[in-house]
Amino acid sequence: MASRKEYFANIYNTVKSISIGMRITLKYCFARTITVQYPDVAPVVKPRFRGFHWFEAEKCIACDQCAKACPIDCIYIEKSGPRKIDKESGVAVGGALQRYAIDYSKCMFCALCTDPCPTDCIHMGDNHDLSSYTREDMIVEFTDLAKEGKQTPEPFWMQQDKPPAWAAEQKQRWEERAKPVRDEMLKALEPSEASKK
């Protein structure tokens, strides 16, 4: 049974935590409203932001660790045979990585999938936008993106001919990041020579 001291301490802590929360709420109630003209103006994305994933297909051994860690089972992986990292090249060899997809209509961006990855090939990215017209479009097929040399999905409007300057730069940064491993990404989608023998 709680002592009288604990009883009043609980009341004090409750009032204190509500006051802290209300102080932040009130601060924003009276703050000046700012409308960011996105996508014409770049959004501010903090360094530890957890956005749509960035996936390195060439390092994925299709071990399912990420899928098992996902609390809502929204990662889908298919392979044609066992895969492992080749010590010499540092890329995965073996069976083909046939599918790596994430259903973003379910994903809650908790990042639990990134921690257990033994080859450090799935990361939270810096893109916050995947607007689309259907639920099906919310399922991102990363293996299809790999065929196009991409590691992360692009917002719908970024795929237009003339995206805003900041978005064109961001798109170029993403492309530059994937460019050195483009060939390895494509190879990951096919069984490697060693596994065919």
Q: Which of 6, 40, 64, 115 is close enough to bind ligand SF4 by CB under 6 A?
A: 64
Q: Which of 91, 96, 101, 107 is close enough to bind ligand SF4 by CB under 6 A?
A: 107
CB of 76 to ligand SF4, least distance (A): 10
Residue 65 as a binder of ligand SF4 (CB under 6 A): the answer is yes
Residue span binding ligand SF4 (CB under 6 A) among the ranges 107-115, 132-140, 153-161, 183-191: 107-115
Residue span binding ligand SF4 (CB under 6 A) among the ranges 15-23, 65-73, 170-178, 185-193: 65-73
Residue 189 as a binder of ligand SF4 (CB under 6 A): the answer is no
| Distances in whole angstroms, Cα of residue 34 to Cα of each of 39, 47, 149 | 15, 22, 37
Residues pairing with 97 in the sheet: 79
Per rule CB under 6 A, count of chain residues that contact ligand SF4: 27
Distance CA 55, CA 146 (A): 9
Nearer to ligand SF4, 81 or 118 (CB): 118
Residue 77 as a binder of ligand SF4 (CB under 6 A): the answer is yes
CB of 109 to ligand SF4, least distance (A): 5
CB of 103 to ligand SF4, least distance (A): 8
List, in order, residues 6 or more apart from 106 with CB less than 8 Å away. 72, 73, 74
Residue 108 as a binder of ligand SF4 (CB under 6 A): the answer is yes
Nearer to ligand SF4, 109 or 157 (CB): 109
Residue 111 as a binder of ligand SF4 (CB under 6 A): the answer is yes
For ligand SF4, the binding residues (CB under 6 A) are: 60-66, 69-70, 72, 74-75, 77, 102, 107-113, 116-119, 121-122
